[in-house]
Chains A and B, each alone.
Chain A
Amino acid sequence: MAETATASPARTADEIKRDPLVAAAVARVGDAITDAKEFAGEITLSVATDRIREVATAFKEDGYNYLVDLTGVDYSKYPGWTKARYGVAYMLYSFARNARIRLKVFTDGALPSVTSVWKTANWHERETFDMMGLQFEGHPNLERILMWEGFNGHPLRKDFPVRGIDTGARIYPEVFPEGGGPKPGSTGKDVKDVNVHKGEWKHYGIWPAASIAARAKAGTQQPPAPELASQVAETAKPTEEAPWHDPEMPLPQRMELAKAGSLKDKLFAAMAQTDCTACGWDCEGYAAALATGESKDATLCVPGEAETEMKLKELLAAAGK
């Protein structure tokens, strides 16, 4: 019963194509099938990207009338990968044969939709678009499905960080209060349009894209694109005045360097040193704001996490603030 690929000598692509499970459909659209593989008793057929709809129809008419699943794979970090970046896998099942096969196409970003072949492909393709950013041409409403409209990124791409990205509340506190949607009027969008909306058959998430412009208008500082803290970290360099300004340095060492400095310097050293601007300032600016009493909230340093927060509170308490 052990279904290993090594249990029997592996079949060649041509032998797999002659397998009774797929032979009938392959006879119709064989020229669109570029490769065939077998692993753990499962057949995978690679299909030319622009002909997937035709091949899907052929298989559906051949009895594979149930599209079990449709999903994408981002191969950009796959060792030794040479084909197009994304793979899209179609799991098919035939009730008559009680058998499964898998079709696979490779693409750099766009491929034909199969919603006209199976209705169930609709949400699967929307999810793949949402998570991978693949464009399914001919899809009736290719909208985001799990993430909200206006979300910046495609989470299942390999270059999207696991920790996630900051989606606004910290960067734009004047527009997006923590834990809430836009403040009335701050985005130029009427508050009644955020929840109830007439005429348009679409919905708004909690993060309309108007935020960067709104921040620029508020004039506090240069609007940072919602970048990742890890990318920003590369720009943070230690200087002569602030030798602790190095995100790689552990907190005790930073505090040691700032031991003789002013309260502002100590607070500055307690920050995460990434200059991520999640608090609304760079690290030095936030430290200055805390030292002068401009800001009373010591919890704004996101990358520093609990360590920084506790240190800041300790320093402020010691200074009697």
Chain B
Amino acid sequence: MFDVHEMEVNFGPQHPSTHGVLRVLLKVDGERIIDAKPIIGYLHRGTEKLFENMPYPQCIPHTDRMDYVAAATNNLGFVETVEKLMGVTGQIPKRAQIMRVMMSELQRISSHLLWLATHAIDIGAMTPFFYCFREREQVLDLFETYCGARLTLNCMRIGGMPDDLPPGWLDDLETFTGKFEAAVDEYESLLTNNRIWKRRTVGIGVLSPEEAIEWGITGPPLRGTGLEWDLRRAQPYECYSELKFDIPVGINGDTYDRYLVRMAEMRQSNRILQQCIPMIKATPAGDIKAKISRVIRPPEGEVYHSIESPKGELGYYIVSDGKTQNAYRLRVRPPSFVNLQALPAMAKGHLVSDLVALIGTIDIVLGEVDR
């Protein structure tokens, strides 16, 4: 009468809450998940193969298309790795460094806003979507004013930045940062103490710090477990060591804590942006590019370099043979790919509807998972 009745169900790849083309093969007993198997690769474009066959500067637009909601951090990780390989990390002008930080933090805000909008709508809260997209639009407008693109920015170059800030850009940024803190308050008033939101997120997908490290999880899911580890602090790049910001951490490592961590991170990004504005005004205009040769031909060697992207540790591993203008091998360590691997462990024993919350809380972008 009460026997176990196992069933296999395909979740995705055309399911709206899978944020793209993720397919999860579920083994369920009624609504309860016994086992889950993510099946990925539907968006595989062979980016790493393409990287091997084009000169370094041409790779930058391709990095945009991996985590396509956080193009600036993808650019940053790539150009920094090539600079490390060439040994010119110390030559990047201060103004370019601050501009890179500003682009990354704006990108973090826009990525987290997109995450919050879709995560909330997946769980059933419709309203935050409209509020988040209101602010995200302003961030994208800032990007558009700077580089002409809203999503695939291609906004960094090896050795610096492509262009100086357009006139009036800093004023627009100042207006935005002045209002953004209140906007985050607004989102929080919709969700943080919302009883339904808490019932759907508290205690769902609990991770301990040890487990998270074992699975290689980084970014907000790792900090949600209570481990205070952020590459911007642990191994500072650009001018992060001169900036004041806190690393928000969670306590229980559940979906609710990861939500709180990301909300607090948006406030911290805003704080960094506010500090950047007077800093960049003190640097000479136009000093945005280091004097490096136009033909990029790094020496023979191999480097790994990683940055804190909105999703976690984004790393690049380059093997150069020193003879050509192409990378011999260029590997991307995508945070979404590694974080997604823990989905079965997190989902076991939960209901199918919780799986939607879990996919949202890991914050995957399939372009980056599949590359």
Contacts and interface: CB of A to CB of B under 8 A. Distances in A.
Given A68-B313, A79-B321, A145-B40, A123 B338 contact: yes
Given A155-B49, A162-B49, A68 B216 contact: yes
Given A2-B89, A162-B53, A73 B303 contact: no
A283 B37 CA distance: 45
B81 to A, nearest CB: 10
A6 B317 CA distance: 20
A1 B8 CA distance: 55
A36 B52 CA distance: 26
A95 B91 contact: no
Interface stretch (B162-170, B249-257, B327-335, B353-361): B327-335
Nearest to A121: B216
B219 to A, nearest CB: 13
Interface residues of B, number: 49
A88 to B, nearest CB: 11
Interface residues on A, range: 35 or more
Interface stretch (A38-46, A229-237, A300-308): A38-46
A196 B91 CA distance: 57
A98 B236 CA distance: 11
Interface in A21-69: 39-40, 42, 44, 65-69
B301 A5 contact: yes
A186 interface: no
B148 interface: no
B215 A119 contact: yes
B341 A2 contact: no
B87 A3 contact: yes
Interface in B315-371: 315, 317, 319, 321, 323, 328-329, 331, 333, 337-338, 341, 370-371
Contacts of A164: 46
B329 A42 contact: no
Given A122-B341, A155-B46, A162-B49, A147 B41 contact: yes
B85 interface: yes
Interface in A88-133: 89, 91, 95, 98, 100, 102, 118-120, 122-124, 127, 131
B90 to A, nearest CB: 4
Nearest to B319: A73
B125 to A, nearest CB: 31
Given A91-B333, A120-B216, A148-B41, A162 B87 contact: no
Contacts of A196: 8, 10
Given A2-B88, A71-B317, A98-B235, A44 B302 contact: yes
A69 B214 contact: no
B296 to A, nearest CB: 15
A203 interface: yes
Nearest to B334: A69
A95 B223 CA distance: 13
| Most A C-beta atoms less than 10 A away, residue of B229, B315, B331 | B331
B213 A95 contact: yes
Contacts of B271: none
Contacts of B215: 119-120
A133 to B, nearest CB: 14
A74 interface: yes
B260 to A, nearest CB: 22
B304 A102 contact: yes
Interface in A199-234: 201, 203
A40 B50 CA distance: 25
Interface in A119-159: 119-120, 122-124, 127, 131, 144-148, 155-156
Contacts of A6: 87
Contacts of A2: 87-91
Given A3-B87, A120-B338, A79 B304 contact: no
Nearest to A95: B229
B213 A91 contact: no
Contacts of B338: 120, 123-124
Interface string B226-253: 0101000011000000000000000000
B48 to A, nearest CB: 6
B44 interface: yes
Given A40-B87, A67-B216, A102-B304, A123 B48 contact: no
A40 B303 contact: yes
A81 B308 CA distance: 35
A146 B370 contact: yes
Interface in B67-99: 84-85, 87-91
21 contacts: A3-B90, A5-B301, A40-B301, A40-B303, A42-B303, A42-B304, A65-B214, A69-B317, A69-B333, A74-B329, A78-B328, A91-B317, A95-B227, A95-B229, A98-B235, A102-B302, A119-B214, A145-B40, A162-B50, A195-B10, A196-B10
Given A68-B313, A145-B40, 18 more contacts: A2-B88, A39-B303, A66-B213, A67-B216, A69-B315, A69-B331, A71-B333, A78-B328, A91-B333, A100-B304, A118-B214, A118-B216, A122-B341, A131-B48, A146-B41, A147-B41, A156-B49, A197-B8
List the 6 shortest-distance A-B pairs measured between CB atoms, nearest first.
A120-B216, A4-B87, A1-B90, A146-B41, A39-B301, A69-B333
Interface of A: 1-7, 39-40, 42, 44, 65-69, 71, 73-74, 77-79, 89, 91, 95, 98, 100, 102, 118-120, 122-124, 127, 131, 144-148, 155-156, 160, 162, 164, 195-198, 201, 203
